[in-house]
Amino acid sequence: MVNIGIIGCGFVGSELIAQLHATRSSAKRLKVVAITNINAMNISDKEYTPLHLTNWKADLTKSGVKPNLDQFIEYMAASPDHAVIVDCTASEAIANMYPSWLKKNLSVVTPNKKAFSGSLSLFKEIHLLSANYSGNGRTPLTYHESTVGAGLPVLSTLLDFVKTGDEIITIEGIFSGTLSYIFNNYSTIASGPSKGSFSEIVKIAKDLGYTEPDPRDDLNGMDVARKVTICGRLAGLDLDLSTLNVENIVPETLKNVATADEFMSKLPNFDSHFAKLNEEAKAEGKVLRYVGVVNPKGNSGVKLMKYPASHPFAGLQGSDNIIKFTTKYFPNGVIVQGAGAGGPPTAYGIFSDLIKIQERVEGF
Ligand SMILES: NC(=O)C1=CN([C@@H]2O[C@H](COP(=O)(O)OP(=O)(O)OC[C@H]3O[C@@H](n4cnc5c(N)ncnc54)[C@H](OP(=O)(O)O)[C@@H]3O)[C@@H](O)[C@H]2O)C=CC1
Ligand SMILES: N[C@@H](CC=O)C(=O)O
Ligand code: NA
């Protein structure tokens, strides 16, 4: 039995709870015993009785308990069975707490990219404290498959290359579900005209739950840069966000507007700017795609590129990601492709990480 505490129940956290609830039988060894959001917290009793997942939202609201992260973590750390904290926020402050949780023998599963793409020392400390990365004989494990390509097996594939001594030559692809969705629908050749103005398509991507809480974190390239950094670091490179080449496509005057809502309301003023870029690509018989590259020889970064209709990046659907690993053993590449954003595929990645932990800890 593994006890789970979930922090953050937005698009991804809510979907995770729904998936755990829907598969009671396969997940019967995974027990949700604590849930917290910004405004409310629900923790179970001293027996760690599973929380009811049918009405968890109403139970959270009516719990009347003010969120207290210290209390939440102490409760989880006192669990008699192995316990996992699932961080489904995008919070940097919470990401900075992972080492303190690992030191309490709590495992960590998260789609939050901040801890793995922020300071290199935090990344290294987490890896040192996590049994699955350092082989240090301790119990806590850290899995974060959904930080890159949602639940697609990107990091597990990459780690297999690394652990078997294969050599990464390049990792390149479309790492953002949001930017994939936007350009697949906006910059089209074979599939007809754009499905709307640039700002209309950004709004749909936001409503579908693909974007970061502030869509500028997608459009400024930082979300992709974080994923490139995570892949590069797992491949053994000391990549840093500040030294990557990152193309920011947020219009200059919108970079500093105060809120995501204000940004969204002003974005239509820049539709003609994006239409011009699109027309330029079309005139060359190409489409726009936003790509990331990890190159151990240098020049890792993210960039808005033009591709002919025949290129695999030009033919993507919906919010799909496509990530191509070129390695010594696979010189023609290994491609991982599929839904790279949205609640269901992201929660799936978290769920499968939880199953890995349960199987490792319990041995079956
Ligand atoms: N959406 C996607 O497609 C993907 C998302 N991810 C990552 O998953 C994470 C969650 O994304 P998503 O669900 O879309 O984002 P949301 O904004 O929908 O959800 C985030 C949730 O975290 C809660 N939260 C924020 N800070 C705290 C805190 N200090 N304590 C407790 N709760 C907190 C928010 O509470 P409140 O509602 O009260 O503000 C909100 O419910 C992010 O790190 C994102 O990068 C990764 C891959 C794909
Ligand atoms: N905003 C991100 C969500 C997943 O990481 C994206 O669009 O890919
Ligand atoms: Na993944």
Task: Please list the pLDDT of the chain residue by residue as tens digits (364 residues).
Answer: 999 999 999 999 999 999 999 997 566 799 999 999 999 999 999 999 999 999 999 999 988 889 999 999 999 999 999 999 999 999 999 999 999 999 999 999 999 999 999 999 999 999 999 999 887 666 899 999 999 999 999 999 999 999 999 999 999 999 999 999 999 999 997 667 888 999 999 999 999 999 998 999 999 999 999 999 999 999 999 999 998 999 999 999 999 999 999 999 999 999 999 999 999 999 999 999 999 999 999 999 999 999 999 999 999 999 999 999 999 999 999 999 999 999 999 999 999 999 999 999 988 8
Strands 41-43 and 82-87: unpaired
Ligand-binding site membership of 10 (annotated): yes
pLDDT of residue 135: 76
For the chain, the residue count is 364
| φ, ψ at 254 (rounded to 5°) | -100, -5
Distances (CA, A) of 242 to 20, 94, 121, 229: 38, 21, 14, 10
Strands 107-109 and 82-87: parallel
pLDDT of residue 158: 98
pTM reported for the whole predicted model: 0.96
Question: CB under 6 Å to ligand 1: residues?
Answer: 7-13, 36-39, 88-91, 94, 111-113, 146, 150, 177, 209-210, 212-213, 341-342, 346
Tens digit of pLDDT for each residue in 139-156? 899 999 999 999 999 999
Amino acid sitting at position 334:
V
CB 302 within 8 A of CB 218: no
Instruction: Say which CATH architecture domain 155-340 belongs to.
Output: 2-Layer Sandwich (3.30)
Query: DSSP letter at 53?
Result: S
Domain-wise residue ranges, the chain: 2-150+344-362, 155-340
Instruction: Say which CATH architecture domain 2-150+344-362 belongs to.
Output: 3-Layer(aba) Sandwich (3.40)
Rounded (5°) CA angle 338-344-348: 80
Q: Compute the chain's Rg from CA coordinates.
A: 21
pLDDT of residue 363: 85
pLDDT of residue 137: 65
Q: Measured between alpha carbons, how far is 64 from 337 in angstroms, rounded to an integer?
A: 43
Ligand-binding site membership of 104 (annotated): no
Nearest to 270 by CA among 250, 256, 289, 247: 250
Residue 197, judged by CB atoms within 10 A of its CB (0-12, 13-18, 19+), counts as middle
**Ion ligand 3 contact residues with beta carbon within 5 A:** 145, 148-149, 152, 154
Q: Measured between alpha carbons, how far is 174 from 340 in angstroms, rounded to an integer?
A: 9
Q: Which atom of ligand 1 is nearest to the CA of 14?
A: 13
Ligand-binding site membership of 229 (annotated): no
* Active-site pick, 31, 114, 206, 227: 227
